[in-house]
Amino acid sequence: MYRNVTGWTNKIQDSDFCSYLQTHDIIFLQETWAKEGTMVELQGFTSYTQPALKTVKYGRPSGGLAVLVSTSLNVSIQQCPLLTTPNFLVLSLSDSLLRNTYCICVYIPPVKSCGELRSYWDKLDQLLESIDSLSPNPRIILGGDFNARIGLVSPQNTILSGLNWEDEPEICQRAAMDTTSNRAGKHLCELIIKHNLLLCNGHGQGDQEGYFTFTSPRGFTSTIDYILTSNNVPVNRDTFRIIPRAESDHFPLELSLTLFFSPAFPKLLDETEYLILGNRRLKWNAQVQEKMIQILDSHEFALLKGKMLLETGNVIGLYENIINQMRPLMTTASVIKNKKFKRQTWFDKECQNSKKCLARLLRKLKLKQDKHNLALQAEVAQLLDTGDFGFCGREGVVTQMRITLRYLAACITESFPAPLVFSSFLADLMDNSELIRNVTLCGHLHHGKTCFVDCLVEQTHPEIRKRYDQDLCYTDILFTEQERGVGIKSTPVTIVLPDTKGKSFLFNIMDTPGHVNFSDEVTAGLRISDGVVLFIDAAEGVMLNTERLIKHAVQERLAVTVCINKIDRLILELKLPPTDAYYKLRHIVDEVNGLISMYSTDENLILSPLLGNVCFASSQYSICFTLGSFAKIYADMYGDINYQEFAKRLWGDIYFNPKTRKFTKKAPTSSSQRSFVEFILEPLYKILAQVVGDVDTTLPRTLDELGIHLTKEELKLNIRPLLRLVCKKFFGEFTGFVDMCVHHIPSPKAGAKTKIEHNYTGGVDSDLGEAMSECDPDGPLMCHTTKMYSTDDGVQFHAFGRVLSGTIHAGQPVKVLGENYTLEDEEDSQICTVGRLWISVARYHIEVNRVPAGNWVLIEGVDQPIVKTATITEPRGNEEAQIFRPLKFNTTSVIKIAVEPVNPSELPKMLDGLRKVNKSYPSLTTKVEESGEHVILGTGELYLDCVMHDLRKMYSEIDIKVADPVVTFCETVVETSSLKCFAETPNKKNKITMIAEPLEKGLAEDIENEVVQITWNRKKLGEFFQTKYDWDLLAARSIWAFGPDATGPNILVDDTLPSEVDKTLLGSVKDSIVQGFQWGTREGPLCDELIRNVKFKILDAVIAQEPLHRGGGQIIPTARRVVYSAFLMATPRLMEPYYFVEVQAPADCVSAVYTVLARRRGHVTQDAPIPGSPLYTIKAFIPAIDSFGFETDLRTHTQGQAFSLSVFHHWQIVPGDPLDKSIVIRPLEPQPAPHLAREFMIKTRRRKGLSEDVSISKFFDDPMLLELAKQDVVLNYPM
């Protein structure tokens, strides 16, 4: 970690100090206190000073600024041929890292000393204008003594909020308690507004009210030094920092290129002062100083000529150590009686403020429950208990407290260093959509996605010092993710990566969870991506979630690439020979291609290492290569090799003949190896074998041959860290991965048309559609948000999405369109104002002012109207805008739990928490039953466990009771209605007759998967049903609706004849009948669950002539009633959800898996060995209601050797008649299979607060009951 040090004024010419600074990458701005006319020269640095003359009444000379730049960081520094005066010095940093950056050191005399003040400000204004004319969009940093005050006495109070770059009261709140004229403050405000600058000052010492004005022994004084920057300089609290100084009313100014901040410790005491410990004072002398130096040295303080600089020492434990170490000397200390040494009231107030701040930080630590900070929590808690905030020498305690708080804040936020690429370069890439790739990394659980992202982050963030034997898990931000070791949320990371040729591309990468329960997070990531990288464990191969993700990606029309990860397992765990490893890898590629051909109609979609859309990796050991990148290693090592042609011969049945030095398709000898084995696998095997097997003797020589040089300390590392280090140096950066994504995943512009056609509900041919298809940054704004990310305190949400057209700006008014918005019904829309905008890099964010089309963006201020997804557009002039389709998940939420607060008075808090978790989890559903209980529906046990953790700990912070989990059911029929069912409207002027019958097998799934859509024209719809399901043409063209929504698994058909029914009158009430049909199918008559797989036919209809008598109030409830009666006459049954289960276990555990499944009504469909592995895969089905605790039961019976995953697969009819009143349900006894349907129905109705049995009188009119009696129909239903 870089040290970040500040110089001391009276030591600025000290050679030891300068040489110490020179070893670190530091830009250093320091106000000089040289004598009049002195030029300060600093050894080892390029330095410039232009002292301006000034006389101060306290008898000390003052001057301009010295600028020191470490030669190790910048190639050169040159003075610009611009306007220079004794008051301004301009430095241009010409190194590539800081190209187009100007550091300006400023000194403007006080208004009473300079006479005409305006000339100085005019010259500074001219200087900035001349820089603007020299460079496009320059980065400007001004630092110095402006002798200007902005604060309460300023006439520019209204602009303070606009100047502050961070909304905190202790930033830039300035006031002058003296009578100094504030004209300079007005000039400073004008300069900031004209050149759009940011004010980046920090916190001051001794300022008890936070106004940067405090009472000193010499009277009132105020700080007047500033750092100003242009908008394109990356600014945050740790980039620019003002360090307090005890002996001056001025501040030294520091600009550091590293984010980690270790503040300079102030001068403690001199010979005339005392060390204050509690209520005792100890006179400062050589003995005390020597003892104090020993204490500080033990706390890792740097010692420079008696001055102390805090680096990485433990600030919190320092005070206790001082007390213990200084105790022998305190016997001579006197008790403080002098009023001069009494604690001032402001000091007590400062202590109280610090206590509040520490308590807030401690709550934040506990909220995150970060296991890495448990020791820090204990220290903070102890600090709060004792009330000890450091030692004081006069006002020094204030500085110590603030240093402590800043240290704690840095530890808690765990901020990572910014990437080596500055924001301006990032902005340039964002403006060029051809250089952007939006990619989702997805794969089965524990197939190495997050670890792979760690490698990319380390590549772009070399300041991160990660232990080689530990996983960084950079995108596992949540405590629950770190504790469980599994990803829960999709996490976006934006980084700049170079390809093999060194060209940089902006990668927006979404790291998604691998657990099937969180597949909704994958769906949210896929929606805003142009392609996927599918991760497959080389040892495990294609697994349950792998197949589901391939299908999902193909359905979303995304480009698919594959990364076969963890290839080290083939060598180190399975110990396969190189030839067998090749067969294993080829089997994986063939299996993936087989699945793609099954789900895709695109015959050209083929994956092959030869095409470059397959890469191989071992993220644990920093290995990543394609055939091309590995061939380039040979080209770099041996030269004169066309690596692109060489790569084409490194896969398949191709052999190298060493005699002819040519590649052939026929093996030259029986022992010849395929080229992939000979040129890639065998070298890889040898590297791993050398490190693992023989580190001390042959490894150094082998590494020398490969051009890898390790230090003695590195060679002493353990095997795994050493192997990671060697592979990292051999394979270098992940350029092969970049090449694969660049060439096989389209840019936002290239893939825009396909994405818009698939996801946009409006017309693609409109002006708006064309702008989105062109990814036009100058077009009308269209942004699609798919995820909501909570702030750390759980109070607000930030919307995350992709800009499809136009450019979104911070502070811009926008129109937010919800999922229910249509051009006809605009109720689900709201005008909002965009707050701040960020580019997300997982653990930190880069704030930007605008985001053009093709990029991902995190948006503040628009979360209030958004529930799940939203479309953001311009509030005016874009009336034709329609929404993007809501997310279509590849799984169904079937597990249900009921929740209630332990304390009933806290119900409003729980309701607010439920609204927030509903936003946080894409596929989560919350609703209120008729009984009043609040129900949460999720995809599985782990999913709901995480939801409840967030609900309890983050969003409501109350105790919540949870009922036993249950599942949702569906209602269906197995026969055609036994008679025509009819219902009359309440006014007796309308009559509708229907029957119900089962749908054809597979039709419900086609409707749900949108294979057929109700929005098709009648001809297309008729052709589909006629050809695929053998419907007659009349019925196929008479489909009115699907229910209960446009993708619902039920159909309403108009089966009336024009000769019997007035079609005009029937058409006039079509919408009302459809609404009644959809209402009825949404809440079935058995237990208020969805109806499924039923076709309802309208056989007859008598409709009143007068519109007044056929209104919606008459028709809708009547249609619902006739739907219910037709349903009950068609032998109704319950359907329950079934899970597909995949179990991995050793061969000797397979029988135990069969046993556990059989006890839970499950059955095995397949068990087979995993190729090249000692494990078996068992595939089975199990009812969801019997799956609770299945995983624990399975591990118990197999001694923890079996691992299972389960996901919803299909609905299956529950055995038995739910309406058979002869069945008696005995409490606390397992029911036989034929009784299950009855049991499920009764218990579900009880839980929902319904009567125990279905009441016929609710659904059958009196005339219908008479008709039943005439036909002698026997009912098992209670009247």
Could you tell me the CATH number of the domain that includes residue 950? 3.30.70.870
pLDDT tier at 295, thresholds 50, 70, 90 = low
Q: How far is CA 822 from the centre of its chain?
A: 30
Whether 288 is in a domain gets the answer no
pLDDT value at residue 1033: 87
Name which residue leads in pLDDT, 462 or 1192: 1192
Whether the predicted pLDDT of 313 surpasses 50: no
Same domain, 1148 and 1051: no
pLDDT value at residue 1274: 52
User: How far separated are the first and last CA of the chain, in Å rounded?
Assistant: 80
Sheet of 225-230: strands edge to edge? Answer: 77-79, 88-93, 101-107, 139-145, 225-230, 197-199
pLDDT tier at 334, thresholds 50, 70, 90 = low
Across the chain, mean pLDDT equals: 76
The whole-number average pLDDT for the span 393-410 is: 39
pLDDT value at residue 653: 93
Same domain, 138 and 61: yes
What stretches of 655-791 show up as alpha helix (H) in DSSP?
675-676, 682-693, 699-705, 712-715, 719-731, 735-744, 752-759, 767-773
DSSP label at residue 1153 = H
Separation of alpha carbons 1045 and 1048, rounded Å: 5
- Count the Cβ atoms, other than its own, within 10 Å of residue 1046: 13
pLDDT tier at 219, thresholds 50, 70, 90 = very low
As beta bridge partners, residue 961 has: 900
Is-contact 534 496, C-beta < 8 A? no
Cα-Cα-Cα-Cα dihedral of 544, 550, 551, 553, to 10°?
Answer: 140
pLDDT tier at 293, thresholds 50, 70, 90 = low
pLDDT value at residue 607: 95
Q: Which of 87-91, 399-403, 1066-1070, 1082-1086 has the lowest average pLDDT?
A: 399-403
What phi, psi does 80 have (nearest 5°)? -70, 145
Cα separations in angstroms, 1096 against 728, 978, 1110: 65, 13, 21
Q: Which of 136-140, 311-315, 1195-1199 has the lowest average pLDDT?
A: 311-315
Q: Three-class SS of residue 687? A: helix
The whole-number average pLDDT for the span 1207-1220 is: 93
Tokens representing 409 are 């804040």
- How much of the chain, in percent, has pLDDT values that exceed 90? 47
Same domain, 1045 and 1148: no
pLDDT value at residue 711: 83
Dihedral sign, Cα of residue 640, residue 644, residue 647, residue 649: negative
Same domain, 842 and 815: yes
For the chain, the helix, strand and coil percentages under 3-state DSSP, each to the nearest 5? 35, 20, 40
pLDDT value at residue 398: 37
pLDDT value at residue 1263: 77
**Residue 395 zone, left/alpha/beta (φ > 0; ψ -120 to 50; rest):** alpha
pLDDT value at residue 24: 37
Whether 312 is in a domain gets the answer no
Separation of alpha carbons 617 and 611, rounded Å: 17
Name which residue leads in pLDDT, 732 or 150: 732
The whole-number average pLDDT for the span 598-620 is: 91
Which of 225, 254, 283 is a domain's end point? 254
Say if residue 914 is exposed, middle or buried (CB neighbours under 10 Å; 0-12, 13-18, 19+): buried
pLDDT value at residue 714: 84
Whether 118 is in a domain gets the answer yes
Name which residue leads in pLDDT, 957 or 76: 957
Name which residue leads in pLDDT, 37 or 1118: 1118
The whole-number average pLDDT for the span 476-505 is: 88
Whether the predicted pLDDT of 35 surpasses 70: no
Contacts 24+ apart (CB under 8 A), 834-837: 834/808, 834/809, 834/810, 834/859, 834/860, 834/861, 834/862, 835/810, 835/811, 835/859, 835/860, 835/861, 835/862, 836/810, 836/860, 836/861, 837/808, 837/809, 837/810
Whether the predicted pLDDT of 179 surpasses 80: no
Whether the predicted pLDDT of 160 surpasses 90: no
As beta bridge partners, residue 807 has: 852
pLDDT value at residue 829: 92
Residue-wise pLDDT for 1086-1097, tens only, equals 999 999 999 999
Name which residue leads in pLDDT, 238 or 873: 873
The whole-number average pLDDT for the span 1126-1140 is: 95
367: Cβ–Cβ under 8 A, 6 or more apart, which residues?
Answer: 792, 793, 794, 953, 954
Element (H, E) at 816: strand 813-817
Same domain, 107 and 168: yes
Whether 949 is in a domain gets the answer yes
pLDDT tier at 178, thresholds 50, 70, 90 = very low
Cis peptide before 462 (omega within 30 of 0): no
CATH number at residue 786: 2.40.30.10
Name which residue leads in pLDDT, 420 or 1210: 1210
pLDDT value at residue 708: 87
Name which residue leads in pLDDT, 56 or 817: 817
Whether 83 is in a domain gets the answer yes
Say if residue 627 is exposed, middle or buried (CB neighbours under 10 Å; 0-12, 13-18, 19+): buried
858: Cβ–Cβ under 8 A, 6 or more apart, which residues?
Answer: 492, 789, 798, 799, 800, 837, 838, 839, 840, 845
Is-contact 984 973, C-beta < 8 A? no
pLDDT tier at 742, thresholds 50, 70, 90 = very high
pLDDT value at residue 197: 76
Which residue type occupies 397? V
Dihedral sign, Cα of residue 175, residue 179, residue 184, residue 186: positive
pLDDT value at residue 859: 96
pLDDT value at residue 168: 33
Whether the predicted pLDDT of 222 surpasses 60: no
Crossing angle of helices 396-413 and 345-368, in 10° steps, is 10
Which of 350-354, 446-450, 533-537 has the largest mean confidence? 533-537
Pairing of strands 27-31, 46-48: unpaired
pLDDT tier at 1024, thresholds 50, 70, 90 = very high
Same domain, 535 and 662: yes
What phi, psi does 933 have (nearest 5°)? -75, 145
pLDDT tier at 1187, thresholds 50, 70, 90 = very high
What phi, psi does 313 have (nearest 5°)? -65, 160
The whole-number average pLDDT for the span 992-1005 is: 94
CATH number at residue 709: 3.40.50.300
Residue-wise pLDDT for 654-686, tens only, equals 999 988 989 999 998 888 999 999 999 999 999
- How much of the chain, in percent, has pLDDT values that exceed 70? 68
Residue-wise pLDDT for 137-159, tens only, equals 777 777 666 777 654 323 333 33
pLDDT value at residue 215: 35
Name which residue leads in pLDDT, 371 or 812: 812
Closest CA to 1107 of 1069, 1154, 1151: 1069
Tokens representing 618 are 């071992």
Whether 303 is in a domain gets the answer no
Question: In which residue are the tokens 């063209």 written?
Answer: 1037
The whole-number average pLDDT for the span 428-437 is: 89
CATH number at residue 60: 3.60.10.10
Pairing of strands 559-565, 531-537: parallel
Name which residue leads in pLDDT, 95 or 1143: 1143
Same domain, 560 and 648: yes
Which of 263-277, 314-328, 730-744 has the largest mean confidence? 730-744
Is-contact 843 853, C-beta < 8 A? no
Same domain, 777 and 825: yes
Same domain, 152 and 250: yes
What phi, psi does 219 have (nearest 5°)? 115, -165
Residue-wise pLDDT for 940-974, tens only, equals 999 999 999 999 988 988 999 999 999 999 999 99
What phi, psi does 206 have (nearest 5°)? 80, 5
Q: Which of 424-428, 712-716, 754-758, 1000-1004 has the lowest average pLDDT?
A: 424-428
What phi, psi does 1036 have (nearest 5°)? -65, -30
Q: How far is CA 195 from the centre of its chain?
A: 35
CATH number at residue 1199: 3.30.70.240
What phi, psi does 910 have (nearest 5°)? -65, -40
Q: What is the number of structural domains in the chain?
A: 6
The whole-number average pLDDT for the span 409-419 is: 39
pLDDT value at residue 613: 94
Which of 940, 963, 986 is a domain's end point? 963
Cα separations in angstroms, 299 against 276, 302, 1105: 20, 9, 94
pLDDT value at residue 230: 75
pLDDT value at residue 226: 66
Separation of alpha carbons 461 and 455, rounded Å: 10
Which residue type occupies 606? I
Domain that holds residue 830: 763-873
Same domain, 925 and 864: no
Same domain, 914 and 1004: no
Separation of alpha carbons 1210 and 1188, rounded Å: 17
Same domain, 603 and 528: yes
DSSP label at residue 679 = I
pLDDT value at residue 1077: 96
264: Cβ–Cβ under 8 A, 6 or more apart, which residues?
Answer: 5, 6, 243, 309, 310
pLDDT value at residue 597: 93
Whether 753 is in a domain gets the answer no
pLDDT value at residue 385: 53
Whether the predicted pLDDT of 387 surpasses 60: no
Q: Which of 294-308, 312-326, 596-610 has the lowest average pLDDT?
A: 294-308
pLDDT tier at 233, thresholds 50, 70, 90 = low
Is-contact 1005 1174, C-beta < 8 A? no
Is-contact 994 1126, C-beta < 8 A? yes
Tokens representing 236 are 């945050």
As beta bridge partners, residue 29 has: 67
CATH number at residue 1089: 3.30.230.10
Which of 924, 945, 963 is a domain's end point? 963
pLDDT value at residue 317: 46
pLDDT tier at 110, thresholds 50, 70, 90 = low
Name which residue leads in pLDDT, 283 or 196: 196
- Count the Cβ atoms, other than its own, within 10 Å of residue 73: 15
DSSP label at residue 453 = H
Whether the predicted pLDDT of 54 surpasses 90: no
Whether the predicted pLDDT of 539 surpasses 50: yes
Name which residue leads in pLDDT, 1145 or 377: 1145
610: Cβ–Cβ under 8 A, 6 or more apart, which residues?
Answer: 627, 647, 648, 651, 652
Dihedral sign, Cα of residue 1115, residue 1117, residue 1118, residue 1120: positive
Whether 1231 is in a domain gets the answer yes
Q: Which of 580-584, 934-938, 1028-1032 has the lowest average pLDDT?
A: 1028-1032
* Largest pairwise CA distance in the chain: 119
